[in-house]
Structure 1
Amino acid sequence: MNEENKPRNGPPERWTRFSVEQMDPKTHTYSTVYIGYSTHHLVAGLESSTSYNFRLRVTRASGECILSPMVSVFTAREPFSGKNLHQAVNREDEDELSTVLQSGMVDVDVYDKMGFTPLMVAAQKGFTSLVDILMKHGADINKRDSTGKDSLMQASFAGHLITVKYLRNCGSTWQSRDTDGCTPLHWAVDGGHLPVIKYMIQDGCEVDVIDKVSLWTPLMRVSAIGGNAAVASILLQAGADVNVRDKAGKTPLMVAVLNNHVELVKLLLDSGADHHMKNEGN
């Protein structure tokens, strides 16, 4: 039976008292973290993966004091969490990423507070070596964020050609769509990254693919959003329909004029845009 469970006779000052003392690693002096009559005490608030030194002071009712030898302990590392996994990706730390994944404690597709998986984050940042590690540990290439964008769309918008090629080799498809029906090419066009757009087209990506909301092709998105004539030129050279109409009946030329994209307007006209066409409202 433990002493703390034995009935004690007489006043407390006649009981044996125990003190747990912790050594300060800088000053090598001791401070008391517990004093009482229990023979068991749990020291709270310790850091993980850290060394600590303790000693026990036993004070008898007679006043006799006995000190134990110093006891060194090393706390265990806290279990890995999704936070550790995402931190490793954001720091581009291959060793830490591998350590967390090899522990088997964390789902490789765990979402962060923004709704991104580690693979999405690595793809968006262009960390191809991390993408490779995540894929080899079973990351789902088809996972999507709250807007329906997958890792290929993230990499395409950010313009990371090597990452885009890697994801394609792993099975990502140009036909994937977000919640608005936009494809990786729509997002690459929005990002304005010519090498990525050229690679997509060379790889067989459909040039006149339309979204589900406005029925915009990538060329229409250029006219409506960025006005990037260099991007439009690549699309037109690949056979994009210069006179395609959107849901409202507008053509890329009409939209480019409305948005005052002067250089793009000239390019569209030179590429055969019909300036006589009218939208459905006219």
Structure 2
Amino acid sequence: MRDGRRYTPLLLSAELGHSEQLSQICNILHFGFFYSSVLVAKNAKMDATLSDLSSALHLAARSGSKPIVQTLLEKGLDPNIKGAKGHTPLHLAAQCDRPDITGLLQDGLIPLHIASRQGHTDTVIQLLHNKAEPGVKDRLGRTALHWAASSQVDSCVVDLLLSAKADPDATDNEKKTPLHLAAMEGKVDMAISLLSHRAKRRARDMDGSTPLHYAAAGGHVSVVTALLQPLNNKGTEDRNAWRKTPLHTAAEKGHDSVALQLLEAGAKINATDHNKDTPLHCAARGGHHKVMKILVNWGQLTDTFLW
């Protein structure tokens, strides 16, 4: 349904900044609900444009409505679509001095990345069905799987992407894999899903750190457990660029439970880093008395030299 200026309800809502109405329209269009709605009855389309080829995303970028731009991106509209004079939504946001919109569009996130980060399962399914490529990287070098693995939602999207042949060992610009990010955020469900698809437990980023280093530094007990189970204690000896083991990183941050986990898994209590510091030195420097007590008691129990 269009008015005399070729506006559809979607285009008009985008230009006027009516985010609630637009969100409702997007839901109707995207999920194909057959309500007795004029929008559906008249076959309204997400990719509708004005006669000058301006899309809803162009209009929202020009009007400065960040919620609408976010909604349209999440629903799969192409941020690089060209409108009048070949201008993209980013061109219009810059011309109209919309810094929030410019930043959002400059993120380099394609629709699959956005939907994955937000945990929008149905949108991810639709995008994958429409041949969205799970291996495409954004300006950070991250794939949709990177964003899904570090998101604050459940692991459904991770499972969907892995089923679509997303690479569990893809690396970003810092050589971090999705498992690195899941470990950093303490997302055990994500980590388990990745591990079940044979993600490399001992992958190293540009600093030489493994997922276990990050899980230990974050005090993420459940992730540490998941990472340690099949490693036969080898992962506890991995050193990063500063020759720190996961036990060093746990001690530095004062994570006593993780320190005990690592010791029980065979971590070397007297391993020294590039400064010749042991985990006990690191714990003492940070004033982490619980970790110090665990290390001292463990050393006495195993008759291990500590100083």
TM-score range, shorter-chain basis? 0.5 to 0.7
> Cα gap change, 1:119/1:24 in structure 2, threshold over 3 Å: closer, same or farther?
closer
Alpha carbons of 1:100 and 1:194: their partners in 2 closer, same or farther (altered >3 Å)?
same
Pick the structure with greater CA Rg. 1
How many residues align structurally? 214
The aligned residue for residue 7 of structure 1 is none
Q: Does 1:201 align with 2:184?
A: no
Query: More strand by proportion, 1 or 2?
Result: 1
Is residue 2:199 matched to residue 1:216? no
Question: C-alpha distance in 1, partners of 2:77/2:236?
Answer: 52
Q: Aligned-pair distance for 1:115?
A: 3.3
Q: Which residue does 2:157 correspond to in 1?
A: 130
1:95 aligned residue (122, 145, 155): 122
Shift of 1:232: 0.6
Rounded to whole Å, the distance in 1 between the matches of 2:260 and 2:306 is 22
- 1:182-219 Cα offsets, whole Å, 9 max, x none, are 11111111121111112222222524323241111111
Choose which of 164, 169, 177 in structure 1 pairs with 2:191.
164
User: How far, CA to CA, are the matches of 1:78 and 1:228 in structure 2?
Assistant: 44
8 A contact 1:83–1:112 mirrored in 2: yes
- CA distance 1:214–1:80, change in 2 (3 Å): closer
Structure 1 residues 223-247: Cα deviation after superposition (integer angstroms, max 9, x where no partner): 22x1111111111122211111112
Structure with a larger share of its residues in helix: 2
Could you list the per-position Cα deviations for residues 89-142 of structure 1 after superposition, in whole angstroms to 9, with x for gaps in the alignment?
A: 1332222112112222x3212223443210011011154211111122221111
User: TM-score of the superposition, structure 2-length normalised?
Assistant: 0.62
Whether 2:193 is the aligned partner of 1:187: answer no
| Whole-Å separation in 1 of the counterparts to 2:6 and 2:238 | 69
Residue 241 of structure 2 aligns with an amino acid whose one-letter code is V
Q: CA RMSD of the aligned region, Å?
A: 2.8
Q: Does 2:200 align with 1:173?
A: yes
Gaps of 5+ in 1: 1-20, 27-41, 50-76, 278-282
- Please state whether the residue corresponding to 1:99 is helix, strand or coil: helix
Q: Percent identity of the aligned residues?
A: 28
Distance, in Å, in 1 between the alignment partners of 2:206 and 2:113 is 25
AA of the residue aligned to 1:215:
R
SS of the residue corresponding to residue 5 of structure 2 reads: strand
2: CA distance, partners of 1:24 / 1:249: 69
Say if 1:240 and 1:23 are closer, same or farther in 2 by CA, change over 3 A.
closer
Q: Look up the match of 1:120.
A: 146
In structure 1, how many angstroms separate the alpha carbons of the residues matched to 2:8 and 2:281?
Answer: 74
Contact 2:145–2:166 under 8 Å retained in 1: yes
TM-score, length basis structure 1: 0.67
Paired with 2:7 and 2:196, the residues of 1 have a C-alpha distance of 55
Structure 2 residues without counterparts, runs of 5 or longer: 10-49, 58-75, 81-108
Q: Which residue among 261, 285, 289 is the counterpart of 1:262?
A: 289
One-letter identity of the residue aligned with 2:141: G
Contact 2:6–2:51, Cα closer than 8 Å, also in 1: no
- C-alpha distance in 2, partners of 1:177/1:130? 24
CA contact (8 A) 1:180 1:211 kept: no
- Counterpart selection for 2:51 from 37, 43, 48: 43
Distance in 1 separating the partners of 2:7 and 2:295 = 75
Query: Which one of the candidate residues 7, 18, 22 is aligned to 2:5?
Result: 22
